[in-house]
Structure 1
Amino acid sequence: MNTIAERRSALHDRFSTWVPRTLDAWLDACADQFPERDLVVTDERVLSYAEVAEESRRLADGLAALGVRRGDRVGLLMANHAEFVTLKFAIARAGAVAIPFNFLYRTDELRYVLAQSDCKVLITNAGFQALDHAGMLDEIVPGWDAPGFADRPASGNGAPDGLRHVVLVERDGDTPRPGAFTGRALAELGAAHEGAAAGAGHTPDDVSDLLYTSGSTGSPKGVQVTHDAVLRTAYASALTRAYEDGRRILFSLPCYHMFGYVEGLLSATYVGGAVIMLPAFSAEAYLTAIEKHRATDMLCVPTMAVALVESPLRHETDLSSLTAILCGSAPAPVWLWEQVERDFGVSEIVTGYGMTECGGAMTLTLPEDELVLTSTTVGRPKLAGSAGVPGTEHEGLAALCVYRTVDPVSGEVLPDGANGELTSSGPTTMLGYFAKPEETAAALHPDADGTVWLHSGDLGTVREDGYLVLTGRSKEVYKSGGELVMPKEVEEVLGAHPGISQVYAVGVVDDRWGEIGCAVVVRAPGPEGDGLTAEDVIAHAKEHLARFKVPKRVEFLEPDQLPTTATGKVQKFRLVELVAQSSQSSQPSQQGETS
């Protein structure tokens, strides 16, 4: 294999000039260059670049025949199945805006996003695991599978009245729905109207995706990003991580989220690579898939990495193909990376940071960086070369964006290296939240020169070398004894205890103190974690933290009890709810307090 520098140089040379494209035009360019190569690999199907392009063309014609036009919004409620990819590119080819919905939504959540997005067509599976999507639709839009649904009168009351068509993509084992318009029928309609989508007229600057935020701090909002933006972000990932030709990326992270969609699917296309998609995570499924499909790279979050290194199966599977790992969404201690490197023989381990509103991950550590940077920072702005911001060169390559900090209250720009709210500017920043002008205005702030800065809500610093250090969320900072406490500082101190696998510091309402700090702890496996008590946690905190930073309460949870988004990010607002419920419960709980 070529060196990291050689691989990065080869990619830069291939894309020395950035050419804006639509997603479907980019797929066609890749299919021309790599027609027979695998693009999508699942345990059920393997699709080449040419097959994805051909199938997406037929499905796009079907959508156009249904009446889908440029700018219409088409929902996609589907797990990581091969059909997701062909349908995703089909929606782009029809000139429509794809809304990849969270397939874990419950009925009320699905009703809200269908109505809020003004979704015209919904493409869905009958369900996922125990979730019955077809049954949810029976409640939300009765008669969706009956003739005349498209012509029904508006009902009002927050119902998704803009929804005109539902396409049910049936899978083996599904119970048939008589009367439903199926994915097969959509393809047949496209075959009967060949070329119907050819005149869609969309451009690289059109909105390609309406992506709903994961909701780590509250209700989701629809983020509007363009074709060009997501392709720039994907190329910057390949360049920064120095992809080799034909990289094969394994992930179970859902494609309705930027992590799986951009860092997985789109980035692989820049080297004629493939994505190995799993519908759900288990350590055994990951390890088996690495061996079976010869994955060279994998995407995960720290909780997944912990499960992988703790799985006995890692000793029984051939992991020799694996050379790289991207692990993001949450901080992790350096010992985890050292163990991954030792146990899996992987030297190119990186982490990153970003948000849907930026266009995905904006920063990454470099594969050649020391592991301490992976543990103590979230990387520096991605190397983007021709796709980046002129004048931001690092090692001869322009960066994808620029970061600076501002005072979280006044918005005043802070000096270099100062801790404050992280703001970013670059060509991949969202156009705004769909149908939410007030929220858009609160997030996007133009400078006097017209440069738009996105306010992240995250607190951190930009080091002299350009690497970012996160210190918390502005909404998660809490007061203890009248003093502000940064949760990340508490988490780093407690996380160093050998008996603690994961820890999250949150502020909770307390009758006596008004607000107190609570440490939610997941014990480490083995004897050091088995006997860990709340008193042990508090004693460790007292030894290393100022008194007002010491949590007054400790709660223990099992890993599967942590409330997380689909990408593994712990939802701290739900942790607060869990802690509040525990304090009100009459059942005994494992907690400790300190005065």
Structure 2
Amino acid sequence: MDTIPAILRAAAERYGDQPAFVEGNRTVTYAQLLGEVRELARRYIGHGLAAGERVVVWGPNSIEWVIAALATTYAGATLIPANSRYTGHEVAELIDRTGATTVMVADGFLGRKQFEELRAASEIASVRVLGNLATLSLDHRGEERHVREATVEETEARADAVTPDDVADILFTSGTTGRPKGAMSAHRQSIGVARAWAELGGVTPDDRYLVINPFFHSFGYKIGIIVGLLTGATLYPLATFDLDETMRIIETERITLLPGAPTIYQSLLSAPGREERDLSSLRLAVTGAAVVPVVLIERMRDELAIDHVVTAFGMTEAVVVTMCREDDSAEIVATTCGRAVPGMEIRIDGPAGEAGELLVKGDYVMLGYLDDPAATAEAIDADGWLHTGDVGVMDERGNLRITDRLKDMYISGGFNVYPAEVEQALMRMDGVNDVAVVGVPDERMGEIGKAYVVGSAAEADVIAFAKERLANFKVPRLVEHVDVLPRNLSGKVLKNELRN
């Protein structure tokens, strides 16, 4: 049965003593993983977590993150991952909008005080339990502490009751309005898309997978954790991307899988001392999320000696849509995102051979946006086609090339940035009378934000103001002052003029 508790149990049975996760000196086997997940799920239930309730997990990649997330679905609840770089304000908004009753927090990550940030941002009135991710300890809030000893039988019954159509997770993605929207996926969808990716990548129990992609992102969670459960591969979670540490792990642990944003491979290629490292164990790299230079693909194959380099295209609303195949040429891999994966179909809304909006249909298109039927209806039409807002063109073999975005989203270091959200934040600043943010090319990050500001606010102050309110990847790196923003007759900012 395609539920996350079911595939976790199957993995424990099939791969028992095989290492599931390795972090530093610590190894957790698949059998141990099931035991730890079951125990935390039992404690969740004892602290009052009901089936269908929502759990926010806020922290960087770690074995504890995996246990906290899998225990959520094991107890019949819904997982809501929060970006580890988010501010307390951003996470409090997710909690308040979803009515989450349990929140697991990596307090102290990057030297911050996340618990304090949360409390300062909101009452987070729905939350009964605030847990510490580092220790997996749970603390009941408020005067009345209703904590009981739940039984293992009760916990197993909860896992048994989960169905493939239950909502497994809600991943938040910003819209053009700047307010993040929660994309809901059923268990069968999160598992199905991971299975499709794993089969195309030929992932086996012999693979050792370095997970740089964040677990709070579908690339790290579904194409990482769930791929591991399905294949028996060993995952090595990395909390933050450190070049030396990445090369050390690849070399000493003989890593075979290294998916990630193009930024990661560019950093590896230019890393000092790379020639002294033996990175020859790498067999598969899967990249995407941005336009990939042909020369990067060639260098990944030649200089990093990665056997198979493929590109893919996906989005939070449909995690993997297209993917290259192992025998595709460097040209195809670099200039296209490959063909539709099994279970998905794509079409271009426009004349054959010409660019138009990419429409996507199939098993892995989200159920819809949380509490937002209007946005759901706008995104998914009556025939079930998801309107992506990306402009693409398809060749005669069905390979997709993304040429532009209908929306203004850009991708910085592998993360989607929605200018409207950044603009909303900056408009609250004294000295900013008007502002428009666009993505501009950057060799290392792919794209970075540039803010065009009308007003007296100094460049350094604009950046500092953004840093206080937004995750680091959303903060504009460049600020330019203009007398007036170019707008059309209906008042919409002409961002193409700014980009050009």
> Shorter-chain-normalised TM-score: which range?
0.7 to 0.9
Gaps of 5+ in 2: 142-146, 412-416, 424-434, 445-462, 484-497
Q: How many percent of aligned residue pairs carry the same amino acid? A: 29
Q: CA deviation at 1:352?
A: 0.6
Q: In structure 2, which of residues 20, 25, 32 is the aligned counterpart of residue 51 of structure 1?
A: 32
Q: In structure 1, which of residues 301, 315, 321 is the aligned counterpart of residue 281 of structure 2?
A: 321
1:130 aligns with 2:94: no
CA separation of 1:521 and 1:425: change in aligned 2, threshold 3 A: closer
How far apart, CA to CA, are the structure 1 residues paired with 2:148 and 2:208? 31
Instruction: Tell me the SS of whatever aligns to 2:264.
Output: helix
Output the aligned Cα RMSD: 3.5
2:22 and 2:235 in contact (8 A); partners too: yes
Partner of 2:403: 471
1:582 aligns with 2:476: no
Residues 97-127 of structure 1, C-alpha deviation per residue, up to 9 Å, x if partnerless? 0111112111221121110111111111213
How far apart, CA to CA, are the structure 1 residues paired with 2:271 and 2:177? 31
How far apart, CA to CA, are the structure 2 residues paired with 1:134 and 1:326? 35
Q: In structure 1, which of residues 377, 392, 395 is the aligned counterpart of residue 336 of structure 2?
A: 377
1:98 aligns with 2:98: no
Partner of 1:364: 323
1:34 aligns with 2:15: yes
Q: CA deviation at 1:33?
A: 0.6
1:120 and 1:163 in contact (8 A); partners too: yes
CA separation of 1:21 and 1:332: change in aligned 2, threshold 3 A: same
Gaps of 5+ in 1: 1-19, 142-158, 183-188, 383-398, 407-413, 478-486, 489-503, 510-514, 525-559, 586-592
1:79 and 1:254 in contact (8 A); partners too: yes
Q: In structure 2, which of residues 204, 221, 231 is the aligned counterpart of residue 261 of structure 1?
A: 221
Q: CA deviation at 1:196?
A: 2.6
How far apart, CA to CA, are the structure 2 residues paired with 1:570 and 1:354? 19
Q: In structure 2, which of residues 218, 239, 244 is the aligned counterpart of residue 279 of structure 1?
A: 239
1:276 and 1:293 in contact (8 A); partners too: no
The residue identity in structure 2 corresponding to 1:108 is H
Instruction: Tell me the SS of whatever aligns to 1:287.
Output: helix
1:63 and 1:190 in contact (8 A); partners too: no
| Bigger Cα Rg | 1
Instruction: Tell me the SS of whatever aligns to 2:155.
Output: coil
TM-score if structure 1 supplies the norm length? 0.68
Instruction: Tell me the SS of whatever aligns to 1:213.
Output: strand
Partner of 1:434: 370
How far apart, CA to CA, are the structure 2 residues paired with 1:69 and 1:44? 35
Partner of 2:440: 520
How far apart, CA to CA, are the structure 1 residues paired with 2:351 and 2:201? 30
How far apart, CA to CA, are the structure 2 residues paired with 1:225 and 1:203? 13
How far apart, CA to CA, are the structure 2 residues paired with 1:367 and 1:219? 38
CA separation of 1:373 and 1:114: change in aligned 2, threshold 3 A: same
How far apart, CA to CA, are the structure 1 residues paired with 2:245 and 2:181? 32
Partner of 2:132: 168
CA separation of 1:117 and 1:192: change in aligned 2, threshold 3 A: closer
Residues 467-502 of structure 1, C-alpha deviation per residue, up to 9 Å, x if partnerless? 11101110239xxxxxxxxx99xxxxxxxxxxxxxx
How far apart, CA to CA, are the structure 2 residues paired with 1:594 and 1:208? 39
Q: CA deviation at 1:312?
A: 1.8
Q: In the TM superposition, what are the counterparts of 1:449-464 in structure 2 within 5 Å?
A: 452-464=384-396
Instruction: Give the number of aligned pairs.
Output: 439
Partner of 2:432: none
Q: CA deviation at 1:37?
A: 0.4
How far apart, CA to CA, are the structure 2 residues paired with 1:224 and 1:240? 24
The 10-residue stretch of structure 1 (120-129 or 265-274) with the greater mean CA deviation from structure 2: 265-274
Q: CA deviation at 1:261?
A: 1.1
Q: In structure 1, which of residues 405, 430, 440 is the aligned counterpart of residue 348 of structure 2?
A: 405
How far apart, CA to CA, are the structure 2 residues paired with 1:469 and 1:312? 33
Partner of 1:84: 65
How far apart, CA to CA, are the structure 2 residues paired with 1:140 and 1:333? 42
Partner of 1:392: none
How far apart, CA to CA, are the structure 1 residues paired with 2:381 and 2:442? 39
1:104 and 1:131 in contact (8 A); partners too: no
